[in-house]
Amino acid sequence: MRQKRYQEVRFYLFVNSYSGKAIVSIVREKYKGKKLSRVVKRLSVVLDFSIKQMEKFIVSNLIPDSPYKRLPNKLKIYLEIEKELSALVEEKLDEYSTALEDYQRQLLAPAIERAAGNFMKDIEDQEFDRILDLQIRKYTYVYYRIAYKYKLPTLRIVPFIIRLIS
């Protein structure tokens, strides 16, 4: 039972992460028909997801519901960082119209800072910088902890995964 819940949460986080969306969009663009089904199978092996889950997500475009009624705070933090990461990538690509790989190292830190700032409310200006600094450290820790615990691909790993399945 615990393993099933772990897999559900893991897949939900992957589907809602920037890395997951990037991998899937590249796979959808590049492959069609029988090649797509072979790539989906390889991707499910590489990422350790069930083939059925990956087929539903990639081929049928079905996004799973949250396995929780109320998402734990740490998972909310992870998903907020991933949402900000997606927003930053869109801004960077629009602004500079260059490849994502050029900016990978410069995206995660601002995404974490934005996510930390989004959760801060009713704080005076004098305390804001000090509290923001503490929140950034906390969010960085939570982000990597969740990515490690659920074995999720980070932005840095996406190009390697794409090469593995090609």
The answer to which of 5-19, 89-103, 142-156 has the lowest mean pLDDT is 89-103
Q: 0.75 cut: is pTM over it?
A: yes
State the pLDDT at residue 134: 92
State the pLDDT at residue 99: 45
State the pLDDT at residue 139: 96
Number of domains in the chain: 1
Question: What's the number of CA atoms in the CB half-sphere (13 Å) around residue 47?
Answer: 32
Tell me the per-residue pLDDT of 68-126, one tens digit each, with 9 for 90 and over: 889 999 999 999 999 999 888 887 766 554 445 555 557 889 999 999 988 887 777 77
Give the chain's mean pLDDT: 86
* Domain limits for position 147: 2-165
User: Over 90: is that where the pLDDT of 12 sits?
Assistant: yes
- The string of DSSP letters for 57-86 reads HHTS-PPPPPSSSS--HHHHHHHHHHHHHH
